[in-house]
Amino acid sequence: MQALSQRPLLLFLVVGALLFAADAWRRSEVIVLDDAVAQRVAGLWETQMGTPPDPETLESLLSAWLREEVFFREALRRGLDEDDTVLRRRLVQKLEFLVQDMTPGAISDAALEGYFAKHRDRYRLPERFTFEQRLYPTRQAAEAALARIQAGGAPPIGLQDLPQSYVGKSEAELQQALGSAFASALARLPLRTWTGPVTSTFGSHLVRIETRLPPKVPPLAFVAPRVRTDYLRAQREASLDRFFAEVRGRYRVEDRR
């Protein structure tokens, strides 16, 4: 210390640095409770309760905010945020929300049409079937019913467990309704003639396919809500990619594996 006292300039620099560090530490421990905080707390209350808080309630809410802020800062001071996977993911998610909020919400017709044209296959409708069916408890009963039809008779009514007509159904929809064996068989059946038996989870069917619509891309107007949702999702993902590219250079990665 004597050496420092004999060198006034050095002593001045050391003391100044210590005062600056102490002032920075004090500033980091300051909690500012201003109008912006009060408005934010009151706004959250109004969002949840549907009415703004009265003065007494607001004071109580601000006291709770202050307690939470003190606990939060003390937790950070003690390093409780380190190696916390849940907190890490929550902060990442919050940052992603903030970045995505910068994505424009309005979509021009030209942008929507361009996105649709680029991703047309994504909206292609699958092959769809319109047909009649009659259900019978056994294969033998279905074969007897088919013989009656081929002899010029009307198809026997059969079991009434299922609708007799299906309109514009895809193979995926029919798999859910009647099973995969029935759904996959329809593509091989002839048009406008009773055929069978076709097996399902319910029994044996006779089937008469009226129309088989090939896969097609519908007009944009038909799928516009879905296209708009996909477009916005793609824009948000692109904004995250751009943000990552912008900030990635700030960090040096040392791969020590």
Which has more confidence, 73 or 52? 52
Residue 229 bridge partners (DSSP): none
- Among 4-18, 67-81, 172-186, top mean pLDDT goes to 172-186
Q: Does residue 185 form part of some domain?
A: yes
Are 131 and 206 in the same domain? yes
Q: Does residue 234 form part of some domain?
A: no
Are 79 and 17 in the same domain? yes
Number of domains in the chain: 2
Are 134 and 78 in the same domain? no
**What is the rounded CA–CA span in Å between residue 184 and residue 193?**
18
Nearest by Cα to 191 from 136, 132, 148: 132
For residue 33 the two structure tokens come to: 């409770």
Any idea what the CATH number is for the domain that residue 181 is in? 3.10.50.40
Amino acid identity for residue 207 in this structure: V
* Coil vs helix vs strand at 98: helix
Last residue of a domain, one of 56, 84, 112: 84
Q: Give residue 186's domain range.
A: 125-213
Q: From the centroid of its chain, how far is CA 12?
A: 60
Instruction: Give the model confidence (pLDDT) of 148-166 as tens digits.
Output: 999 999 888 899 989 999 9
* Coil vs helix vs strand at 125: strand
Handedness of CA 140, 142, 143, 149 (dihedral sign): positive
DSSP3 helix / strand / coil % (the chain, rounded to 5):
60, 15, 30
Q: Tell me the average pLDDT across 112-141.
A: 95
Distances (CA, A) of 110 to 100, 107, 239: 22, 8, 20
Residue 14 bridge partners (DSSP): none
Are 50 and 129 in the same domain? no
pLDDT at 145: 95
Beta strands in the chain (DSSP E): 128-136, 165-170, 195-199, 204-213
pTM score, two decimals?
0.57
* Distant-in-sequence, close-in-space partners of 190: CB < 8 Å, separation ≥ 6: 209
Please determine, for residue 54, whether its predicted confidence score (pLDDT) is greater than 90. Answer: yes
Nearest by Cα to 168 from 136, 215, 134: 215
Whether 70 contacts 31, CB under 8 Å: yes
Please determine, for residue 11, whether its predicted confidence score (pLDDT) is greater than 50. Answer: no
Please determine, for residue 41, whether its predicted confidence score (pLDDT) is greater than 70. Answer: yes
Whether 171 contacts 183, CB under 8 Å: yes
